[in-house]
Structure 1
Amino acid sequence: MISSSPRIAIVWRGDREARRAATPQNNRFHRIFEELAVAGLNPEPAVFDEEFADEVLDQLLDVDAVLVWVNPLDNGKTRAVLDPLLRKVAKAGRLVSAHPDVILKMGVKEVLYETRHIGWGVDTHLYRTAAEFREAFLPRLRAEGPRVLKRNRGNAGQGIWKVELAETPPGGPTFVQVLEARRGSVPEMLDLADFIARCESYFAENGCIVDQPYQFRLLDGMIRCYMSGERVVGFGHQLIKALVTPSAGCTELSEPGPRIMHPASAEPFQTLRTRMEEEWTPEMMSTLGIDARSLPIIWDADFLYGPPDASGNDTYVLCEINVSSVFAIPDEAAAEIASEMGSRLRRSKPDRI
C-alpha cells in the first residue's frame, strides 16, 4: 500500500506553450499516465526544451522517478543538454529510465558490433575513423556484396544507408548506388569517394559507423520486440520500405505498411520471445555490463528475418535497439511499464511504498 504516492515525471520534447498546457490527458502518453495512476503512482508531465532546461531540472529533482521519451536527433536538436541534466537527476538519487549511460551502451548502433557473437548477430564491422572507413570498406563491398552502413546515433532512418557497387568502366572512378533509410529518400548514384566524404561527419564527437550485410528478406517485414526490463511485453510487425530499391520505372517508394501490434503471447513470435528472455537479453547484459536494475523500463529490439536455418525455421537478425524514445507501444505495454516502475520503486524506496 502506498502511504504517499511517489511522483513520476514523464519527459518529452516540446516548446514553452506545450509545457504550459500539458496535462496527463492531452498527449500521446495518456495511457501510460493512466496506468501509472492505477498502480498508485502520481505521474506528471515534464515537457523539455533547452530554452527552459533549468526549470525542468528543478522539477525532476523534486520527483521520485523520471521516464524519458526524447529522440537523439529531432529537427536539428540533440540530447547534448538533456543527458547531463538527467545524469544530475540520477546522481541525486532519482530513478531515471532510460539513463543516458545505459543509452550509450544499448541504444546506439555500436551495440550491433559489440553483441555480434550473440545469436541475433551477423557479419558486422566497425569503423572508428574516416581513414579506416576509406581503407576497409571498398574491399569488403567488392567481396561480400551490398552492405548497410549505420551511423552510431540517430533515429527515423537518418544516417542508415544501403550501399551497392554500380557498373564502373575499367580504370575509372568507383561508383555506388546508395539509398538512405529516411522516409522519402530515393536512390543516388555517387562516386564512392564522394559518398565516403558525405559520411565523415558521422565520426564527429567519437562517433563511428557500423557495417552489416544487406538482408534480402527485408520485404518480409520487420519485427519490433517490445521489452520492459527483462520481459517481452509485446510485438509489432510492419512491412517496411526503408532500404528497398524502387522497381524499374518507379521513381519513388510507396509508404510502409502499418505496424500491427500483438501481445507478448502471440503464437507466431514465441520462438523470438523465448530467445529474447532466456538467451539474448541475458547475454547482452553480460556483454555490455548492464544489470537488471539499469535496463530501460521500456525498450525495443528491431529484427529482420535472416536466412532459414537447416530445418527451414526462421532466423532473426538484430538491426537496432531503441531506447531513447520507444513509442508507439502495444496496448498491454502501458500497464507493464507501470508495473515495472512500481517494482523498482519498491526495491529502491521501500519506505515510500
Structure 2
Amino acid sequence: MKSKISNRWQALAVSSILLITACNKAPTPYVWSLPYNIPPPIEQPDNPMTNESVALGKALFFDTALSADNSMSCSSCHIPEFAFSEPQKVSVGVSGEPLSRNALALVNVAYNASFTWAHNNLESIEKQILIPLFNEHPIEMGVTGNEETILARLNTTYYRQSVKAAYGDDAITMDRVVKSLANYVRSLVSFQSPFDKYAYEGDDNALSAQQIQGLNLFFSERTECFHCHGGINFTQSSMHSANGFVAQPFHNTGLYNVDGKGSYPDSDMGLYSVTFDVKDMGKFRAPTLRNIALTAPYMHDGSINTLHEVIDFYARGGNHANVANPYRSPFIKRFVLSDEEKKALVAFLESLTDPSFIDKHKN
C-alpha cells in the first residue's frame, strides 16, 4: 500500500533531501536559527542534528503512512497553524477512541526538561515520541503490531534516498523513524514574538502600553504567573546549554477536587499515575506560554476555552477554592484584577505569539 502524501510538506522535504544528497555525501550539521542571546538547546549525543535528518523527520511528520490504517499523521493532532497544537479538547486516535489529554503545542520542545503533560522519566524527545506511536491504552497512531506494514509503506524511492542522505545507507528502520521525527520536532524553535523584540532586541515600541501593563502584572507577586511560567521558554520545566541544572517541576492547579480531599478523576490523576506517590496527585507540567493565544482550549483536558477564562480560573484560586486541598500548589492563590487589568494580561500573553514561526511552518 502506497503512502499517502498528506500535503506538500513531504514533497518539499524530499526534494530538499535529494538536492542535499547530490551535493554532499556526508550529512550536514544543523545550524540553529536563534537570536544571539538565546542559548542553543542540548542535543542528544546518539542523534546529532543534521539538515538531512530534520528534512526526513519533516516528511514523516506530515505522512499518514505512520499510522496503523494510513489515515492520520503526527500533524493531524499537531497542526502548524495552531502552533503545532489542535483546537480540540482532546485528540482522537486512529481507532476513533478519544485520548485523555489535550494536544500540547510543539514549540521549543528542544528546551523541555520533561515531556508530555505529566511524566518525570522521559528525558528525551526520542522517548516521548514512542508514546503516540506505540501506545495501546489508548491507541494513538497504532503502530504496535503494525510495524512491518508501516515500514513497507515507507519503502519507497523517496524514503530510501532520504534515509541514505541522513544515515549513510537506505535501511528504513523504526529507530531511524523515531530519531528523525525527534530532530524535526527539536528544530521547531520560536523566539521572534513582539515580546522577544521588546525584551531581547531592545525595541521599546514592540509592545503596546497595554501589553507592558500586562507584562508587569505577569511578573508580579500579585498574580504569581512567572513562578511556574518563567525563563526564556515561559515554563519552569526547561533546560539548555547555558543552565547548570535541570528543573522538572509539576504543579497541582486545583482544577479538580472530586472527593473534597483533593483527588483528581480516575481517568487522569496527573503525575500520580506515573509515580503512585500521593503527593503527586493532580500534578501536571506547566507548558510553555509561547504562542499560547493560538493553542486553545487550555489545561491538560482542554476544559478551559479562552485566555480570559484561564485568568479567571487562577484569580479565584482554582476550582473549589473554598474546599481544603492538600495537593494544590501554594502558588495558586486568589487575586483580584480589574477588567482593564485582565485585558492587559491577555494582551501580554498575545504578545508571545510569533507570526514568523507560524508563517514558516504552515501549509
* TM-score between both structures, scaled by the size of structure 2: 0.24
TM-score (norm 1): 0.25
